[in-house]
Chain A
């Protein structure tokens, strides 16, 4: 068996186990060591992933696609996870189960990586379940805080339903087509009603992970209730493989069918609903949560045109990466401000915490898609792909939604700049500050080297 093909995943798995063991044996005040160990493991995994970037083959009996798309997803997942790990030591320092956080994060990362490369529905389910179950734990990590528990509960209930439906879907597809491997499914005519229902159920499971309609309702609650570093993780990392898994699955079916239109309609509904709901939020974390729902809708634009536009896959990867980085920046600011969440508490922040306020402004402007931030490149590529793929109406709707989104981002930005300060904010530690600054700087600087990144992006998918 080509075990080496999965070396990045194995590195994460081994690190997770070691972190768990370490957390059991060292006193709680030393649990920061677990963070260091986790970072080291993630770095090793990332190095191997980069080394395997150019591979292009199915491995493990055709269940895992080792291609450039997997490579890009691995690098993004590992990078974002590492930044989330850095956010955590200060936040969880007083938590009795501090060290286990990192084990949980790593297991969840492993699930995400397994999803990203899945070329078989069963493998996809396993990755998704591993990612989901660990996510519920992370969301409800502050078990003495009712909002956190509520968020975890809601996440779990919706997730359990979506996951169960997905398993049923896989069974139906297997029963009707005789295959769960993508190589076997490719080009299969899903004329049978049961097989179609199965495919829809699988899609619902993935839409749940992506935080898109109709399984999006957990996102704002998790954004509000989960510990801030966990919220940063949960609203970014699982979405990367979810988007990739969706595009892999949709790409199996010929572009003529109604599937693309269905995805486009879901995209339209998701981005519009997310934006409209975000307009009324007076809680910055819920606002970021709803904005992340609407961003999931944008990501689906690329999924809708796969096979119709050559830019669909690169657009999706650039967009989802830009989204993850910007949302992570926003949550890093929230974390750095010790989880302050009320809209009014952000008044005058620019004068008191110029770095934090600037980082949040950059993150929001990137989410709007203001050039030359990374978010602009993502949206630009999405529009390009959507128009090329014949979904110009979707691009226009996305334009309208971008304008709409500026309203609620400005509801946070404007008071930060223009209003007098309320009270002196308390901040976390230098780690959270570093994450905030590094992520915001990346949003500004990555487009400068965009010309180097773009050609390296994958254009084709396995199988």
Chain B
């Protein structure tokens, strides 16, 4: 079942790439059809999933037995919730109308390819398979940004590729050291988590943790490794940005939880404080720099730095081994919900930004204004997504941030207090977007601005409905995640 949800988009991608030229609409229809299958499969997996009972639906096939590498897949609450969100967001991004789209066939082929490797990354239970998908994600993203982006797309794509490759190679070294320190050479994640082989080995453990934190920090992106993110976002087409922010950034925080926290808990606990400090800097830095942007997409891009900062703060608190277990579980719950919520919300925001670009080829906020009367549906969707992003109660972002800060106050009260300032700034910057773009006078050049189409509003409604659902009734998601079972054994 899990293998199928990786293989079907991959086969779809290869088929699209190999097929002769076809109209854009056909390619899109095929891509949507193929992308819907993994989502359906994962819903079936969810139906048969028992929360909190460890890794389930495990599939295993030997690959390089001499080295302890195998094709191992499985889900726990963390990976299942992330894959569900990713599959949904991919479906939304693929379905997002992009007319006119040059070379549509290969665009959709690359998208399906990226879907396949993203799902694979969250489902992998083998460190080498995990790494393979991690790197393949870079390749897919490189082509999507470089070929269909605008402005300095080529440069931005290269910067993205080189930055994250540097991080991923550090991770590879860390993975190898972890596997070598196992009693028997093995890349089985379950075995490594159970054995936590590097804990308490002094300098080696610290260096490996550092490799993981830097490697995943680049991907997340954590201050000061975030500089690749704004150009990549600004120059990428809307749906690609949505995936980059919604799915690919989660690979970083997922890795922090899975590899850094679960596989070397004691070392992580020793270093939780510095990580939390960096997270708070990310929160503030992302928010302040975002406030200074006049470019709509750049502003949203920097809020990603801010939001992922919350997530990392939650993870650091969860791994700190301080405070009560309940507080740490709460912070981890918050971190995972933030990952899901950020995927849905920022995914929607970037799709909206894509809609702006398709209509006016302009991200400068000052060139807009007064769109509320002209495009009420666009206004409504943006307002809802912005409020969710700034953490309004009743929406998904609030649930996440509440959990993170409740947990953080129990462990690092001062850091949590400083981090709260980030919330204020985020509120200011989103309200500022709404004011500048939708209210005030309508510039002459924008008089022909059209509202969202039926398809577009349908896709956004799907994403935002989930945001509301998580906001008013978070119980189902919290139960699915089962954060308490993800925490490393205290001690």
Contact pick for A399, options B128, B143, B161, B173, CB 8 Å: B173
Q: Given A399-B169, A417-B146, A451-B63, decide whether A371 and B132 contact each other with a Cβ distance below 8 A.
A: yes
Our pick among A402, A414, A417 for the contact of B165 (Cβ within 8 Å) is A402
User: In whole angstroms, what is the CA distance A241 to B402 when docked?
Assistant: 63
A418 and B154 contact, Cβ closer than 8 Å, known pairs A376-B132, A455-B65: yes
Closest to B131 in A: A371
CB distance from A71 to the nearest CB of B (A): 18
Q: Which of A205-213, A269-277, A382-390 forms contacts with chain B?
A: A382-390
Establish whether residues B180 and A384, one from each chain, have CB atoms under 8 Å apart when the complex forms.
Answer: yes
Return chain A residues, CB-CB under 8 Å to B147: 417-418
B136 CB–A CB distance under 8 Å: yes
CB–CB A454/B162 < 8 A: no
- Report yes or no: B162 in contact with A395, Cβ–Cβ below 8 A: no
- Chain A residue numbers with a CB within 8 Å of B153 are 418
Contacting A at CB under 8 A, from B138-168, are 138-139, 143, 146-147, 153-154, 157-158, 161-162, 165-166
A407 partner residues in chain B, CB cutoff 8 A: 162
Q: Check B177–A387 contact: CB distance below 8 A.
A: yes
Bound-state CA distance A410–B165 (Å) is 13
In this assembly, does B176 line the interface, its C-beta being within 8 Å of a C-beta of chain A? Answer: yes
- Given A371-B136, A387-B177, A417-B146, are A451 and B62 neighbors across the interface (CB < 8 Å)? yes
A365 to chain B, nearest CB (A): 7
Chain B nearest CB from A351 CB (Å) reads 9
Contacting A at CB under 8 A, from B109-141, are 128, 131-132, 135-136, 138-139
Whether A370 lies near B139 (C-beta < 8 A) is yes
In angstroms, Cα B173 to Cα A383, docked, is 7
Q: How far is the CA of A1 from the CA of B165 in the complex (A)?
A: 54
Chain B residues with CB under 8 A of A414: 146, 154, 157-158
B64 within 8 A of A: yes
Q: Which residue of B lies closest to A449 (CB)?
A: B63
Q: Is A253 close to B, CB under 8 A?
A: no
Cβ contacts A402-422/B at 8 Å (1 or 0 each): 110011001000100110000
Say if the beta carbon of A380 comes within 8 Å of chain B: yes
A384 with B64, Cβ < 8 A, contacts A407-B162, A417-B146 known = no
Collect the chain B residues with CB atoms within 8 Å of residue A400's CB.
166
Nearest neighbor of B179 in chain A, beta-carbon distance = A384
**Interface SS of chain A: helix, strand, loop or mixed?**
helix
A451 close to B173 (CB less than 8 A): no
Residues of B in contact with A, size category: 20 to 34
Select one of B135, B157, B176 contacting A370, CB under 8 A.
B135
The answer to whether the Cβ of B23 comes within 8 Å of any Cβ in the partner chain is: no
Question: Nearest A residue to B169 by beta-carbon distance?
Answer: A399
**From residue A235, how far is it (CB to closest CB) to chain B in Å?**
25
* Given A414-B154, A417-B146, A403-B166 contact (CB < 8 Å): yes
CB pair B66–A454 under 8 Å, yes or no, is yes
Report how far A370 CA is from B143 CA in the complex, Å: 14
Which B residues lie within 8 Å of A455 (CB)?
A: 65-66
Give the chain B neighbours of A189 by CB distance below 8 A. none
Of A370, A376, A392, A410, which is within 8 A of B158 by CB? A410
Q: Is the CB of A451 within 8 A of B161?
A: no
Find chain A residues with CB under 8 A from B169 CB. Answer: 399, 402-403
Q: What mask results when residues 45 to 73 of chain B are scored 1 for a CB within 8 Å of chain A, else 0?
A: 00000000000000000111111000000
Within B277-302, which residues are at the interface with A (CB < 8 Å)?
Answer: none
The docked-state distance in angstroms from the alpha carbon of A454 to that of B180 is 18
Please give, as numbers and ranges, the residues of chain B lying within 8 Å of A406 by CB-CB distance: 161-162, 165
Residues on B with beta carbons closer than 8 Å to the beta carbon of A387:
173, 176-177, 180
Given A372-B136, A387-B180, A451 contacting B65 (CB threshold 8 A): yes
Q: Which of A414, A417, A451 has the most CB of B within 10 A?
A: A451
Known: A417-B147, A454-B66. 19 other contacts (CB 8 A): A370-B135, A371-B131, A371-B136, A380-B172, A383-B176, A384-B67, A384-B176, A387-B173, A387-B180, A388-B180, A392-B173, A395-B176, A396-B173, A399-B169, A403-B165, A403-B169, A407-B162, A418-B154, A455-B65
Please give me the 8 A-B residue pairs with the lowest Cβ-Cβ distance, nearest first.
Answer: A371-B132, A399-B169, A403-B166, A451-B63, A451-B64, A418-B154, A372-B132, A371-B135
A-B contact pairs, 9 of them (CB 8 A): A376-B132, A380-B172, A399-B173, A400-B166, A402-B165, A402-B169, A414-B157, A417-B146, A454-B64
Residues of chain B touching chain A, judged by Cβ–Cβ distance below 8 Å, are 62-67, 128, 131-132, 135-136, 138-139, 143, 146-147, 153-154, 157-158, 161-162, 165-166, 169-170, 172-173, 176-177, 180
